[in-house]
Structures are given as structure tokens and as C-alpha cells.
């Protein structure tokens, strides 16, 4: 089989050799077998169905939820001389008719189609009359209700297998932990599919996490490390996207905003400039990036917490597709965590889903606070064992000092308890540090036994301690909308002296420098 695949790889796609598992996958699908492909972003998933599409008789039907990107993919294929086109709501009915005729005439190698279009009785009937080479289901994690891109129509794609059992199917995704992987196989009825799971390691990406401490200035430090290079800055809200892009422009950075609230033409223009020009920094919500294939993105910065480890991996995966050194930088504060927790709690989702989302968020917080190798932690989340610390993350390069934090934790927990479990970290820290500001006095908190017992740490260090206590489940953010803290389930054993806790301490010299520059 690969006898004919390799020449096509070279002659049509211009690649000298297969990468990773591509060859095995191409052989499997070309021979008529089903496949479930888990490959990181930039790993080369498209070839896994594009080559079989050329090797098998008939037209490959590619299901993709990303209407905006179909055009790009089709353009790229056409430039290679491949007969590809797409069918979605952006086409006039005349053009759509033309595409349908080309399909029936056998004039197409690949046809990209949006799931809602595919599932119409009209299109399904059309497929009955066409010769279908294979079905490729891209972004297959969209079938998972627990994932971040759930698309209900994906659930109905089982019709493909039921109606055309002899046509091979290949499902592809860049993001899937083990449960999602199982769910994809089950929901898409891929029980006979071979699973091809590539390593998710991206060795050229350097991971770093920093506590939020004047975000924009921290971001400038990242950009300064990559002056003149392309990068993506993710922010949680549209407003923050706008403000951050503005702030960067004032610093002379060619920064462009991107979020779902901008006019479609402006979004398209900004995306086009980002893709075609050098040195554009895209400041965006997560509305930006799915399917973006720009090889030389040198950094991905998160100004706010992503939603989950899956989201984080996928978003940072847009850096360094060309294999050159790149940076994934994340800046987080405890306020982010509390806000995300509230968003989960206030959503209309059923309780089961909320629990899953809380777990996912906890995993992310654990990653942020961990003193272990980031790469090991990240890959472990996806069920992959990375044998030794990587030497290319912040924790490997400048190990965080850790100390026995049991006593510090006890002070914090007692103070949360004594103030009635009704206040956010800021106020509790004021009490710990012995502040006598108006609020502290008004509430009578200057008379508590815990008032002033925490003067050995500055407010910044206390913030970090509180984040770590939250990440460890010793403190929980109350979900009343005010971010007030209460004792978590595991706080009892620590307060009773049955367990100990090690805490990371932020490098003091850096803290001192920051304080000076803040004045």
C-alpha cells in the first residue's frame, strides 16, 4: 500500500517522509479499516485522510465544524492540484448545486462539509448516489459532551456507519484525555477502529507559569523575549482583549484584537494579517485559533486561566509548529480561579457536568501551582508518562524553592475560620498581616487572635499561599458570587496536625525587584 502512498506524499504534498504514525494510519484507512487518531495540533492529521482520499476510488467526505477554515484548507489542496471543494451555508444555492453535480460525476477527491449540512436528508440521499471513498470526522472531540467544543450534531454522525457500513471512517482530534477518547469511540460507534495515539509532547515549547502581578508589564517581558515575532495572547473577556491590544499598541507592538463581538470582516482581516505578515501579535479570546496553521508562532501567552488542561494544551499547541524554540506562558491569579468556579456554578449545566468542570479546573490549578516539571505534569494529564524532568520548563530551569508550609497553612486556615468564612483572600490577608484599615476595625477583626500572626510574609507571598491552599483543596471559594473563602474538606487533618503541607515560595529577589519597579 505504502508503495503508492509514498510517491504521492512526495509528488503531491512535497514531503520527503511520513511523520510519526501517518504511514500506518494511511495504510489502515486506504485498506478500508476504521481509525481513531489522536495527534497533537500540528502533528499532521490532515494527511491521514487526504492521502487515502487520493488512493481510494470515489470522494472522501470530510466532516468539519470549522466553516471558516474550510476555504483555507480547500485552497491549499487545490494549489497542490487536488480536486477539493466544500459545501456549507456560505455557498449560494447555485454554487451548492454545482458542487453536488461534481460529487455525483465523480469529479471530486475531497468534499468538506459542515455536520449540519451533511445530516440533511437531501445530502444523505445524494451520498447514496455518489461513490464515497471514506468519511473523515475532524475535531472528533466535538462529540463529547464534557469537552469544551460540544456539538450536538456530532452525536448523529453514527448515521454514516449505519447507512454505509462498508465505507471506512477516520476520526481525528488533537485533544482527548482517556475518558474523552473512550467517549469518541463509543459515540461514533468506532468499536472496530484502531487507535493511533501519538505522543503529545511538544519538545520545542518551553512552558512557564507566573503568578499574576501587574499582568500587562509581565506580558511585555514575554513579548520582549520574542521581539518582532508572531504571537498569540489569550484573554478571558472581550473587554480585556480590547484593552490589552490597545496597551500593546501603545508600546509599539503590532497587536490586533480578535473576539466574537467584532464584525466578521474585521475578524477575517485580522486573521489574514496574522497569517500573512510577520510579527503580528493577536490578542484574542478562545474564539481565535481553532485550525489556525501558522508555523512560526513564537509564543502563546495566557493572561487569564484557560478553561481546562485540554484547552490549555490546544491553545499553547499553536506555538512552534515549525519545531523552533517557542514559549507557552501563563499568568494566573486566585481571582481567576474564583471567577471560573463561579461561572461553572452559575451555569445551567446539570450537576454531573458541573462536577466534571470543577475537576477539570482543579487539575489546571494543580498544574499552575505545582513545583514539578510542567511537561511531566501536562503529559501525565493526558495519560502519558514522561520519564524524566524535561529541562525546558520554568520549574526545571529555575526550581521553585519549597518549604514546610504546615504552620503557614494553619495560620491562613485559622484566620479564614475566625473571620467567619465570609471574606475573600484580600481581607483575610489584611487581618493576617495585622492591618488596621477601616474595614478591619469596623468588623472588629483587629481583636481576633489571628490578627497580625502573618507578618512574616508580605501580601504577595500570602496571595500565593492562598492559591496553593485552594489548589490543594484546603480552601474552597464560596460560590455565592463574592469569592469568599471557606475551609475545604481536607483542611481538618491539617488543622489537627495529622498531615503536613509543602508550599512553594516565590523567589524573593524577583519580588523585591518588582516592588521597587512598582513604586
- To ligand ADP, the closest distance from the beta carbon of 68 in angstroms equals 15
Between residue 336 and residue 375, which ones bind ligand ADP under the rule CB under 6 A?
Answer: none
3-state class (DSSP) for residue 172:
strand
Closest to ligand ADP by CB, 117 vs 202, is 202
Cα distance between residue 113 and residue 99, in whole Å: 11
* Residue of 28, 45, 226, 504 interacting with ligand ADP (CB under 6 A): 45
CA torsion angle 162 163 164 166 (round to 10): 50
End-to-end CA distance of the chain: 68
Closest to ligand ADP by CB, 236 vs 292, is 292
Q: By rule CB under 6 A, what string of x and - marks binding of each residue 278-307 to ligand ADP?
A: ---------------x--------------
Residue 202 makes contact with Zn ion by CB under 5 A: no
Cα distance between residue 461 and residue 336, in whole Å: 17
Residue 44 makes contact with ligand ADP by CB under 6 A: yes
Q: Which one of Zn ion, ligand ADP, none is in contact with 393 (Cβ closer than 5 to 8 A by kind)?
A: Zn ion
CA-closest candidate to residue 52, choices 191, 151, 164, 170:
170
Closest to ligand ADP by CB, 23 vs 478, is 23
Cα distance between residue 407 and residue 397, in whole Å: 28
* Residue of 29, 43, 319, 462 interacting with ligand ADP (CB under 6 A): 43
Interstrand relation of 502-505 and 401-404 (parallel, antiparallel or unpaired) = antiparallel
How far from 178 is each of 374, 378, 384, CA to CA, in Å? Answer: 20, 14, 10
Using the contact rule CB under 6 A, the part of the chain among 42-50, 140-148, 249-257, 326-334 near ligand ADP is: 42-50
* Residue of 77, 303, 373, 501 interacting with Zn ion (CB under 5 A): 373
DSSP-assigned letter for residue 393: B
Between residue 124 and residue 153, which ones bind ligand ADP under the rule CB under 6 A?
Answer: none
Contact between 37 and 172 under an 8 Å Cβ cutoff? The reply is: yes
Q: Which one of Zn ion, ligand ADP, none is in contact with 396 (Cβ closer than 5 to 8 A by kind)?
A: Zn ion
Q: Which one of Zn ion, ligand ADP, none is in contact with 373 (Cβ closer than 5 to 8 A by kind)?
A: Zn ion
Q: By rule CB under 5 A, what string of x and - marks binding of each residue 455-474 to Zn ion?
A: --------------------
Q: What are phi and psi of 447, to 5 degrees?
A: -100, 0
3-state class (DSSP) for residue 277:
coil
Q: Which one of Zn ion, ligand ADP, none is in contact with 293 (Cβ closer than 5 to 8 A by kind)?
A: ligand ADP
Amino acid at each position: 500500500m505504502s508503495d503508492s502512498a509514498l510517491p504521492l506524499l512526495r509528488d503531491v504534498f512535497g514531503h520527503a517522509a511520513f511523520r510519526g504514525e501517518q504511514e500506518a494510519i494511511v495504510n489502515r484507512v486506504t485498506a478500508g479499516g476504521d481509525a481513531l487518531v489522536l495527534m497533537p495540533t500540528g502533528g499532521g492529521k490532515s494527511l491521514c485522510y487526504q492521502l487515502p482520499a487520493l488512493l481510494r476510488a470515489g470522494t472522501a467526505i470530510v466532516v468539519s465544524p470549522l466553516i471558516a477554515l474550510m476555504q483555507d484548507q480547500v485552497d491549499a489542496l487545490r494549489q497542490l492540484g487536488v480536486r477539493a471543494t466544500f459545501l456549507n451555508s456560505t455557498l449560494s444555492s447555485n454554487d451548492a448545486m454545482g458542487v453536488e453535480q461534481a460529487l455525483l460525476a465523480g469529479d471530486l477527491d475531497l468534499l468538506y462539509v459542515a455536520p449540519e449540512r451533511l445530516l440533511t436528508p437531501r445530502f444523505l440521499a445524494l451520498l447514496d448516489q455518489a461513490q464515497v471513498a471514506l468519511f473523515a470526522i475532524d475535531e472528533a472531540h466535538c462529540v463529547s459532551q464534557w469537552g469544551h467544543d460540544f456539538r450536538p450534531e456530532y452525536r448523529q454522525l453514527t448515521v454514516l456507519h449505519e447507512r454505509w457500513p462498508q465505507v471506512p471512517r477516520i476520526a481525528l482530534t488533537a485533544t482527548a484525555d482517556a475518558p474523552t477518547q473512550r467517549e469518541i469511540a463509543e459515540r461514533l460507534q468506532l468499536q472496530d477502529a484502531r487507535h493511533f495515539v501519538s505522543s503529545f509532547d511538544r519538545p520545542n515549547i518551553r512552558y512557564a507559569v507566573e503568578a499574576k502581578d501587574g499582568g500587562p508589564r509581565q506580558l511585555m517581558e514575554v513579548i520582549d523575549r520574542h521581539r518582532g515575532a508572531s504571537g498569540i495572547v489569550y484573554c478571558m473577556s472581550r473587554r480585556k482583549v480590547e484593552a490589552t491590544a490597545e496597551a500593546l499598541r501603545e508600546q509599539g507592538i503590532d497587536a490586533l484584537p480578535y473576539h466574537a463581538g467584532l464584525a466578521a470582516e474585521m475578524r477575517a482581516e485580522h486573521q489574514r494579517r496574522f497569517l500573512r505578515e510577520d510579527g503580528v501579535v493577536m490578542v484574542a479570546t478562545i474564539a481565535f485559533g481553532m485550525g489556525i496553521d501558522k508555523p512560526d508562532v513564537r509564543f502563546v501567552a495566557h493572561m487569564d486561566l484557560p478553561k481546562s488542561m485540554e484547552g490549555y494544551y490546544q491553545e499553547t499547541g499553536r506555538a512552534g509548529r515549525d519545531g523552533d524554540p517557542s514559549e507557552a506562558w501563563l499568568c494566573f491569579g486566585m481571582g481567576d480561579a474564583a471567577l471560573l468556579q463561579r461561572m461553572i456554578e452559575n451555569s445551567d449545566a446539570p450537576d454531573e457536568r458541573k462536577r466534571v468542570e470543577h475537576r477539570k479546573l482543579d487539575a489546571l490549578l494543580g498544574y499552575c501551582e505545582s513545583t514539578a516539571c510542567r511537561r511531566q505534569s501536562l503529559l501525565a494529564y493526558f495519560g502519558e508518562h514522561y520519564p524524566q524532568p524535561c529541562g525546558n520548563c520554568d520549574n526545571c530551569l529555575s526550581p521553585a524553592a519549597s518549604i514546610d508550609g504546615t504552620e503557614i497553612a494553619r495560620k491562613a486556615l485559622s484566620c479564614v475560620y475566625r473571620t467567619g468564612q465570609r471574606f475573600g483572600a484580600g481581607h483575610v490577608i489584611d487581618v493576617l498581616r495585622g492591618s488596621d484599615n477601616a474595614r478591619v476595625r469596623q468588623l472588629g477583626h483587629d481583636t481576633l487572635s489571628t490578627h497580625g500572626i502573618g507578618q512574616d510574609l508580605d501580601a504577595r507571598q500570602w496571595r500565593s499561599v492562598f492559591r496553593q491552599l485552594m489548589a490543594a483543596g484546603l480552601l474552597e471559594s464560596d460560590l455565592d458570587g463574592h469569592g469568599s473563602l471557606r475551609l475545604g474538606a481536607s483542611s481538618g487533618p491539617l488543622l489537627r496536625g495529622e498531615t503536613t503541607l509543602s508550599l512553594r515560595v516565590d523567589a524573593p529577589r524577583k519580588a523585591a525587584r518588582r516592588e521597587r519597579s512598582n513604586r
